Chains A and B, each alone.
Chain A
């Protein structure tokens, strides 16, 4: 049961956090330079955004859940199963970020989820 709860936090809080960070990134716009100064500016600019902090909080919850589950499950099991976030991420990106997800991309995401299911069957 603890395993299911931890996976829930990894998937839901992790994906929710990434969506918030993505929202913050889109409000900054495309980064063109990769010099240390422009990357530092980019980091400082992102830290001023509330979406960024909400994202960091949710991703932290997901991260601590990941640490907890790694204490009793294999890395090669935990990390692939956490890919369940792809389905959640696609729905979230469509609803929250207004991204248009093509049929081909849905097919790819469905195949990723099938792979996750097979990995779940290999659970020891």
Chain B
């Protein structure tokens, strides 16, 4: 019987081999002769570094997965491994058993490629702990490793760790959003606990940002929590929101909603906005210049006596949970880039009727804010309304 070395030598004699230099110039030339390049090594070898543009089909899965990477048997396929042996055996399999007509094995493998000083791409990888933690995301083609890495890189700002912010923060933390900023200057009160599930009875009296951080880290210690124990206002908004990818608006009053709208339009940051009252919830994404802004929907706020949000109102404890999780869902979709985001649409939820209604929201060509160039929106006019402070104060 022949030795292993003799088998490999014999296979190499009957297959076609190609030099790394030729592969590189064919890949770069764009002359139509570029092959499908396939790395047949094991997963850990591939993840440690591979030739840019290479697909990965480990030799052990060659027969079952090659058609995913190279469906056309007539197309040119170049295989490589570490030094050129495994790829030679794989090329033999493709040619003799599977009928591929134009297969080559790259001589010297990636070792020779690197020795020549050619480029190697080192993909970012998840740790073993992350692979396990996020495994249910990784199994979804719409998220997968790329989507999970986007989540880990994302910075999301939550306005308020209250009714809406609580469930949103918990689920975004669980989903692996890398940085969560929380703006809230309130402390935990026992009357919050009917709906603000990020807080606990033993933390009554603590600042909400601290209590929220404790719960977030209990779920996912790798989330970075940036705490802003303050009220968002015209003096600090630009500094706080700058650099965030998405803002989640759960603000409980109109001055902040308008201020936030104007600042996010200027900085082109999408806002996933929800509001709740009693048994009714509303949800929409305001994506500057891709869709309408909040002022396109409501050009001005209601006067104090008709602004139910200024005072204390009843709310079904579950409702901010429902609406907050719909917000969290839209945040994740925006970050991952999957699905049809709720831009230009307003979703109404009526908990008593158990019904959803969708309304269209159009960009207003005469919008006082988003019909203009973002740089032209001055700090002086942000969030400004006639008499607003006065009437909110009147409403208590």
The answer to whether A and B belong to the same complex is no
Residues of A within 8 A of B (CB): none
